[in-house]
Chain A
Amino acid sequence: MQLGRVLGSVVATEKVVGLEGVRLLIVQPLDKTRRPKGGTLVAADAVSMAGPGELIYFVASREAAEALPERFVPVDHAIVGIVDELHLEEE
């Protein structure tokens, strides 16, 4: 899993079967010091509570779809938690 920052949301009315009702959010992946790393991506929100500005962590690849109620859907990134605290050795 990787850290990310929610930048916004994606609205798509026409979606494949199984993705109805799934919130899609724009996520900026971060390094461990919370600096942006790589390009933005669209992730399904499996916690249904993530919003813009929040620090989250997401799972990638096949396992992303397993976070959703309908598990056989074409999803490659899913937000699986909102970070309350990040304790790092250096801090």
Chain B
Amino acid sequence: MRIGKVAGTVVSTINIPLLDRHRLLLCDIEDVEGRPSGYTIAVDVVDAGVGDTVLILDEGSSARQILGLEWGAIRAVVVGIVDELVVDGEGRSLI
């Protein structure tokens, strides 16, 4: 999993049927200091909002497991909202 921050949402009406049921979030991938390094568009299953620091899973088989699918073209899923990061014993609250 990666740590990221929700930067925005992607709205789409023409997409593969599987994506009809899901909200898409554009998330910056961040390091522990909060510096961005790229982005990914991920399916939201935790009702994350813009500005939230989140846990992003980017692996197909786990994504299908979470979504209860046998198959499907989904790889990135927002699986958690981060409350606090502790690095080198120092906590950083994100709430």
A binds B: yes
Known contacts A32-B7, A32-B26, A83-B10; decide if A61 and B75 are in contact (CB<8 Å).
Answer: yes
Known contacts A46-B16, A47-B15, A88-B7; decide if A78 and B41 are in contact (CB<8 Å).
Answer: no
Q: Is the CB of B14 within 8 A of A47?
A: yes
Cβ 8 A contact of B11, one of A32, A46, A67, A83: A83
Cβ 8 A contact of B13, one of A61, A84, A89: A84
Q: Please list the residues of chain B having a beta carbon within 8 angstroms of any beta carbon in chain A.
A: 7-16, 19, 24, 26, 28, 39-42, 50-51, 60, 63, 71-76
Closest CB in chain B relative to A91 CB, distance in Å: 8
Pick the most buried of B42, B51, B71: most chain A CB atoms within 10 A of its CB: B71
Known contacts A63-B60, A80-B16; decide if A86 and B40 are in contact (CB<8 Å).
Answer: no
Q: Please list the residues of chain A having a beta carbon within 8 angstroms of any beta carbon in chain B.
A: 1-3, 31-32, 46-47, 49, 57, 59-67, 71, 78, 80-91
Known contacts A1-B40, A1-B41, A31-B39; decide if A81 and B74 are in contact (CB<8 Å).
Answer: no
Cβ 8 A contact of B19, one of A63, A64, A81, A91: A81
Closest CB in chain A relative to B54 CB, distance in Å: 14
Residue of B nearest to A88 (CB): B8
Closest CB in chain B relative to A32 CB, distance in Å: 5
Residue of B nearest to A50 (CB): B14
Known contacts A86-B10, A88-B7, A89-B51; decide if A1 and B75 are in contact (CB<8 Å).
Answer: yes
